[in-house]
Amino acid sequence: MIAIVAGCALAGVIGWWLNRRAGVLRTVAVSDSGADAGDDTAAAFLGLTSSGPTVVHFSAPWCGPCAGVRRVVDNVCDELGVAHREIDIDADPAAARRFSVLSLPTTLIFDADGRQRYRAAGVPTAATLRSALQPLLA
């Protein structure tokens, strides 16, 4: 009995540890070179806008949490007037490879210059997404 309780507790701790960063927007270092540095090919590759930030989220039809990201991104981007694009990794695996998308959903935020500024794996909250986008609108 004690072994079962200990096993469940250990499984809970391991699950928490593996998911503790899900949905957290991480700042991406902005550099002057590389695929995420705002080169014209990256902007054209993803269809980024130059008039402001662009939110790109990678999804697939079979991904359940991707519907949550879609709702959050649609609501926040419509509220702030920010461009957004959804990329189906089944239809466009080259984009997923180019931006090292290893899990779904993955959300990237690019500034007006096409540089990747934030990245999140999992479902970000509306407040987190909004707080990351607002400084990029200035």
What pLDDT was estimated at residue 33?
A: 38
Q: ∠ CA 92-48-95 to the nearest 5 degrees? A: 20
What pLDDT was estimated at residue 73?
A: 95
Can you tell me the distance from the alpha carbon of 98 to that of 20, in angstroms, rounded to the nearest whole number?
26
Render pLDDT for 24-53 as a digit per residue (tens, 0 to 9).
666 776 554 344 444 556 677 788 888 899
Render pLDDT for 73-125 as a digit per residue (tens, 0 to 9).
999 999 999 999 999 999 999 999 999 999 999 999 999 988 999 999 889 99
- CATH code for residues 39-136: 3.40.30.10
Asked if residue 82 lies in contact with residue 53, where contact means CB atoms within 8 angstroms, the answer is: yes
Can you tell me the distance from the alpha carbon of 34 to that of 14, in angstroms, rounded to the nearest whole number?
35
What pLDDT was estimated at residue 129?
A: 94
Can you tell me the distance from the alpha carbon of 123 to that of 92, in angstroms, rounded to the nearest whole number?
21
* pLDDT higher at 47 or 127: 127
pTM, full prediction: 0.75
What pLDDT was estimated at residue 88?
A: 95
Q: Which of 61, 53, 24, 11 is nearest to 70 (CA)?
A: 61
* pLDDT higher at 32 or 57: 57
Residue spans of the domains in the chain: they are 39-136
The string of DSSP letters for 63-104 reads -SHHHHHHHHHHHHHHHHT-EEEEEETTT-HHHHHHTT--SS
